[in-house]
A and B are shown apart, each in its own frame.
Chain A
């Protein structure tokens, strides 16, 4: 079945460091791909998305490119801030009426 694999955390970085969180997926067709973020004590919020191969999603300085050849959707940010500390979830959805399938989440902790 469809699945999402994320790199294990926690990821600990200093402010202004470069961030990469790896995400790979398994799907039988052509899924849409998403990154969600969960700040402490809150629900999930959509961070960015891509719906077809080679699309790049971007928001708040974060970027991810849909790579069909490597079945990947890695999240990157050039300079992280303390306020980026959160749990990041990679997710996919494949086909009309299907729900989001999530990875296990990666905790990011940024210190000043």
Chain B
């Protein structure tokens, strides 16, 4: 199994509070991704990174920011959590572009509830 760890695995937080989710990898893969999974929507890309300090927005980036100061860590921050951000968040990694026949590996997910 690919070495990818998400923390925390579960979190309940109050509306308006900041929240940071962490994705840690031990594979030295270049690409890292944050997705959210919601019923009826499948997985939607929030942000991704193609190297240290290199990030780009995905389909549903509003209300989220990311940082990648080291190859192994990709942080997702909700600056002021809202109930619409209640979701399961998945981190994924890939050695190079998945378009180039490279597999993406997924973490086990973080279940976030905003009350």
Binding site for B on A (CB under 8 A): 6, 31-32, 34, 36, 41-46, 49, 51, 89, 93-105
Of B12-20, B63-71, B74-82, B105-113, the segment with at least 4 beta carbons within 8 Å of chain A is: B105-113
Give the number of chain B interface residues (Cβ < 8 Å). Answer: 25
Q: Are B108 and A89 in contact (CB under 8 A)?
A: no
Nearest neighbor of B101 in chain A, beta-carbon distance: A51
6 closest cross-chain pairs (CB), A and B: A43-B106, A104-B42, A102-B43, A93-B99, A44-B106, A93-B98
Point out the residues of chain B lying under 8 angstroms from A95, CB to CB. Answer: 97, 99
Binding site for A on B (CB under 8 A): 31, 33, 35, 40-45, 48, 50, 58, 90, 92, 97-101, 103-104, 106-109
**Contact flag A32-B48 (CB < 8 Å), given A44-B90, A89-B42, A89-B43:** no
Q: Are A93 and B97 in contact (CB under 8 A)?
A: yes
- Shortest CB distance B21–A (Å): 14
Interface of A (DSSP majority class): loop
Provide the bound-state CA to CA distance between A41 and B110, in Å: 11
Q: Are B42 and A100 in contact (CB under 8 A)?
A: no
Q: Are A96 and B97 in contact (CB under 8 A)?
A: yes
Q: Are B42 and A32 in contact (CB under 8 A)?
A: no
